Amino acid sequence: MANLKHGLHAEMQCPAMMRKPQRVSITLSWSMYQALVEESCLQGRSISNLASYWLEQHYVMAKSRREA
């Protein structure tokens, strides 16, 4: 990936790379982490899966508000 321009992510220059799931790392407050743990146990999901679901749902809601 030596041809990447400085400051741009690979996904911005090569859309095909966006087709596979990508890993991210975030820092959560203790209360948000506890909420994730409790809810993931209730739903039988992994913490990672639930966090991904929550992010996707927030994005969908925010996008629909912008388009309204």
Q: Across the chain, what does the average pLDDT equal?
A: 85
Which tens digits make up the pLDDT trace of 42-66?
999 999 999 999 999 999 999 999 9
Q: With 60 as the cut, is the pLDDT of residue 7 above it?
A: no
Q: With 90 as the cut, is the pLDDT of residue 17 above it?
A: no
> What is the rounded CA–CA span in Å between residue 59 and residue 46?
20
Q: With 60 as the cut, is the pLDDT of residue 8 above it?
A: no
The domain limits of the chain are 26-67
Rg (CA), the chain: 16
Q: Which residue has the higher pLDDT, 17 or 28?
A: 28
> Mean of the pLDDT values across residues 11-31?
81
